[in-house]
Structure 1
Amino acid sequence: MSAPILTDVATELTPPVLPAPPLPIRTERLVLRAVVPDDSAAIGAYCADPEVTRYLPFPALDADGLARRMERLVAGTAPSAPEEMLALAVEHEGVLVGDLMLRLTDRHGPADPPAIAELGWVFAPEYAGRGFATEAARALVDLAFTHYPLHRLMARLDPRNVTSARLCERLGMRHEAHTRQDFPERDGTWSDTAVYGLLRPEWAAAF
């Protein structure tokens, strides 16, 4: 009798490594590309503004905070596993006007690629009102569903951030939840969280 064939369970459960997305992405007015160290001055300018970071999970950035954020953004080029992210700089006519984030979160099973991801964005206030955030975020949504095997996209934000809530709605995302006093503020208080979501079939129907 031949010896039984032993399988490497650990190998069988190893999820696939996803390829880096094709960049840059060009829309009607914008270029979405990888973040590079030379973007530090532009990103630092708007992330040092307390009004810009008022509803973000980080405070207005000093030099040390900017260095830490730039390290994460520059490294965010080819996410493949939960908690890894894709970071994109947004340019208009060669000028950096904001940045976007796509963070992978959850798998369906231990050997599956991530099926859920979270969106985030920050834009320089001097470029507000021109539709750049909507145009860029819509391109990222399309990339998320075409390049990654995602089932769901979500965004979590402070309900007082009306501008971002309206952007979620323009992207076709649904307001799914409002959780009370679940986010610790920097001043020791608690704030609420609004959850918006978009499923692959909903995106496909509007694509």
Structure 2
Amino acid sequence: MSRNVALRPRYPLRTARLLLRPSTPDDADAMLAYKARPDVVRWVPHGVLDRAGVLDRIERSRGELDDEEQTLGLAVIEADSGTLVGDVLLTWTSREHGGGEVGYVFDPAVAGRGYATEAARELLRLGFDEFGLHRIVARIYARNGASARVLQRLGLRREAYFVRNELLRGEWTDEIVYALLADEWAARRCR
């Protein structure tokens, strides 16, 4: 798949209960409230962040994609309250292969409400329907059961299990790769 296009969504993206829009420096304090917590970022490669780290990640994220290896970084806002509840990522991993990857981190104050599933579903829609990706993956650490359940609810298939694949804060951890193809996404939407 050789593409010469860009993904420039019209913001905010709206789901039933959420608004997704590019992260800005004004989001730093709200993101810091959960990204500075070891229990929240236990399974996130970057680990605990301070304010400068949050600002750096916001600065490196983008609101559009025009080349591979770029990441769309979106703040997730609860529509009713206007509260930032998490953030999500869509990375364009390969132009040639039409590949993408999704990721998400949410404030534990909203755990159990289905927000991660709802926001990640919108990223899948964006990647497949608007950007025309062929395949989207999510990589998680094997002990992250909550994230595995989100991916399974979204219909992603567990494709690979890598034993002691990643060194995470001094400990070898197993990694699981989940994936979904564009035609599988289309078939799920038609049901």
Map 1:169-180 onto structure 2 (within 5 A): 169-180=152-163
**Could you tell me how far apart the structure 2 residues matched to 1:15 and 1:163 are?**
34
Matches within 5 A, 1:189-200: 189-200=171-182
SS at match of 1:102: strand
1:145 and 1:68 mapped to 2: Cα distance?
Answer: 28
- Structure 1, unmatched stretches of 5+, are 1-13, 109-113
Query: Does 2:123 align with 1:140?
Result: yes
Matched, 1:80 2:66: yes
Aligned partner of 2:84 in structure 1 is 96
Determine which of 123, 128, 138 is the counterpart of 1:155.
138
CA distance in 2, matches of 1:185, 1:206: 34
Counterpart in 2 of 1:38? 26
Shift of 1:57: 0.5
SS at match of 1:55: coil
Contact 2:29 2:51 in 1 (8 A): no
Separation in 1, partners of 2:14, 2:3: 31
2:75 maps to a residue whose letter is: A
Letter of the 1:25 counterpart: L
C-alpha distance in 2, partners of 1:25/1:115? 22
Report deviation, 1:19.
Answer: 4.0
The answer on whether the counterparts of 2:138 and 2:178 sit within 8 Å (CA) in structure 1 is: yes
Per-residue CA deviation, residues 3-51 of structure 1 (Å, 9 max, x unaligned), is xxxxxxxxxxx95141412221111111111111110100111000000
- Is 1:204 equivalent to 2:190 in the alignment? no
Q: 1:50 aligns with which of 38, 44, 48?
A: 38
For structure 2, the residue ranges without an aligned partner over 5 or more in a row are none
Aligned partner letter, 2:181: L
- Give the partner amino acid of 1:95: T
- 1:120 is matched with 103
Identity %: 45
Q: Tell me, what secondary structure is at the counterpart of 1:65?
A: helix
Q: Give deviations 1:166-205, integer Å, cap 9, x for gaps.
A: 0000111000000111111222x31111000000110000
In 2, distance between residues paired with 1:125 and 1:165? 16
Question: Alignment length, in residue pairs?
Answer: 186
1:166 to 146, 149, 152: 149
- Give 1 or 2 for the bigger CA radius of gyration: 1
| TM-score, structure 2 normalization | 0.93
- Counterpart-to-counterpart distance in 2, 1:48 and 1:79: 28
Cα pair distance change 1:29/1:182, threshold 3 Å: same
Listed one character per residue, the Cα deviations across residues 117-176 of structure 1 (whole Å, up to 9, x for unaligned) are: 000000000000111111111111111111112100100010100000000001110000
